Amino acid sequence: MSVTVARQTELDRTRFFINGDWVKPQGTETIRALEAATGEPLGTAAMGSAADIDTAVLAARAALAKGPWGRTTPAERAEIMLRFAERLAARADATAQLVSRENGMPMALSPLANGAAPVGLLHMYARLITGIALEEIRPSEVGATIVRREPVGVVGAITAWNYPQLLAMVKIAPALAAGCTVVLKPSPETALDSYVLGEAAREAGLPPGVLNIVLAGPEAGAALVSHPEVDKIAFTGSTPTGRLIGAECGRLVRRVTLELGGKSASLFLDDGNLQTFLTGLAGTTFMNNSQTCTAQARILVARSRYAEVVEALAEHTRDLVVGDPLDERTQIGPMASEHQLARVLSYIDAARDSGARLVSGGGRPKNLDRGWFVEPTVFADVDNSDRLAREEVFGPVLAVIPFDGDDEAVAIANDSNYGLGGSVFTTDEERGIDVARRIRTGTIGVNYYALDAGSPFGGMKDSGIGRELGPEALDAYLEYKSIYVSADRL
């Protein structure tokens, strides 16, 4: 049973954060944000135009070329980043609640994803940038070479709605550490929480123009991607949009990082521990109501254990607590929007028509008559060629597929256009590691799945280009320059 949680009044976000100040939009378009759990109005936000994007990009360029940011040392940038982290930490509880109201993220996860993790990333990249040499001298055949790392320049960061604060900071933190300036375009589906970043940046003393935030839709996003003063695009979102961005960046010979969709597999081998697998579902499959790009919604099960696992999955999903994301007992909250709910329900209908066997869920929860809730749903006997096994649902709908032997399990896992996440469950860790090595995916866990901020994250195939997180992410925001000098420099 859900508890009644006190809710704030409506929020109005009618200005953009540009050049260190809150400025009026150049157009009149607005968007009404609705609360995922109730469908009721949450706030109103201004929507930016290409003209607003242009103003923000020019401010970012000026901060880099003329302002103090372009002359800062790594230590000076790190000091400002730590103040930025401090101001975000002071807002973390309120930010976590706001995001949960926007997109339905359960409060069991939101304080980490929208509070502690962004703060931690600022700390990590502040530490990393002060611990590396941005110049080194190497001997050459005719003298010496100064190998120098410089900021790539103005970064256009375009983020998705499912982890809005985390995805923004995954781009902002390494970009600031490298000495870049940023124009952030958040998703309209989470229209309100990005203002927290602007408020905290201003209080922290981030110089004007270093971070600019313009909420906008696809047309203004396209203007950001193609703007002549932008040097790099960092995008998290759908694969179709990523293709368009990648094509434009290729035409412009512009740096790009694309973190796109997934249809990852969780493999339960014949010696897997069932309780370990069921406990791990919170991180492998159901995290953030399965509105997660790494969600492992293809459950591949050894045929000798198939009936046992299907029955356990059905029982487990029926017992999950579905309800108000602000109730800390909730395990599955609502979908982020009415559109997203309709999308998830359409996949459930298609799976029914395909001949797959529905073993649990399959509709709206009977006790939740408002908001965008869907029951956690399990289909067994799914063929890997079915839509449910090929396409990203972005909701709690599982496709269970049997296999015979490790080779077939690997073949089915790899028979996908995507390659972002994955997991292998077995009581023999060496066997699990061997299977994991054979799967073409950017990240995979053995007996659990948990993102590691200190290691690179990204996808293969249609799941993207480039890597975020870890020290490797800094390279995406740095350019290498070779200066040929005399051997006297050695």
Q: Is residue 471 part of a domain?
A: yes
224 and 290, same domain (yes or no) = no
Q: Is residue 2 part of a domain?
A: no
pLDDT for the residue 354: 93
Q: Is residue 346 part of a domain?
A: yes
- Considering its fold, how many domains does the chain have in total? 2
The CATH number assigned to the domain holding 430 equals 3.40.309.10
Mean pLDDT, residues 35-40 taken together: 96
- Give the residue numbers spanning the domain of 310: 265-455
pLDDT for the residue 12: 87
Decide if pLDDT at 390 tops 90. Answer: yes
Decide if pLDDT at 3 tops 90. Answer: no
Q: Encode pLDDT of 108-138 as tens digits.
A: 999 999 999 999 999 999 999 999 999 999 9
399 and 470, same domain (yes or no) = no
Assigned token pair, 144? 């010496």
309 and 238, same domain (yes or no) = no
245 and 306, same domain (yes or no) = no
Mean pLDDT, residues 378-387 taken together: 98
192 and 289, same domain (yes or no) = no
Q: Is residue 32 part of a domain?
A: yes
Decide if pLDDT at 9 tops 70. Answer: no
Q: Encode pLDDT of 243-265 as tens digits.
A: 999 999 999 999 999 999 999 99
Closest by Cα among 299, 283, 314 to 398: 299
228 and 321, same domain (yes or no) = no
Q: Is residue 6 part of a domain?
A: no
**Residue 375 among the catalytic residues:** no
221 and 239, same domain (yes or no) = yes
311 and 211, same domain (yes or no) = no
Cα distance between residue 248 and residue 232, in whole Å:
11
Tokens 């356990």 belong to 312
Question: In the chain, what percentage of residues exceed pLDDT 70?
Answer: 98
Mean pLDDT of the chain, nearest integer: 96
pLDDT for the residue 1: 33
Q: Is residue 1 part of a domain?
A: no
Assigned token pair, 133? 């040499």
Taking a C-beta distance cutoff of 8 angstroms, is the pair 99, 336 a contact? no
What SS3 class is residue 419? strand
pLDDT for the residue 10: 60
Mean pLDDT, residues 318-329 taken together: 97
Burial class (CB in 10 A: 0-12, 13-18, 19+), 28: exposed
Q: Is residue 55 part of a domain?
A: yes
117 and 249, same domain (yes or no) = yes
Cα distance between residue 287 and residue 367, in whole Å:
22
pLDDT for the residue 426: 98
253 and 287, same domain (yes or no) = no
280 and 220, same domain (yes or no) = no
pTM of the entire predicted model: 0.96
Taking a C-beta distance cutoff of 8 angstroms, is the pair 199, 206 a contact? no
Q: Encode pLDDT of 47-60 as tens digits.
A: 999 999 999 999 99
pLDDT for the residue 11: 84
The CATH number assigned to the domain holding 223 equals 3.40.605.10
Catalytic-labelled residue, pool 259, 375, 392, 468: 259
Closest by Cα among 37, 31, 30, 40 to 9: 40
Looking at the chain, how many residues does it have?
Answer: 490
Q: Is residue 114 part of a domain?
A: yes
173 and 44, same domain (yes or no) = yes
Decide if pLDDT at 370 tops 80. Answer: yes
Q: Encode pLDDT of 411-434 as tens digits.
A: 999 999 999 999 999 999 999 999
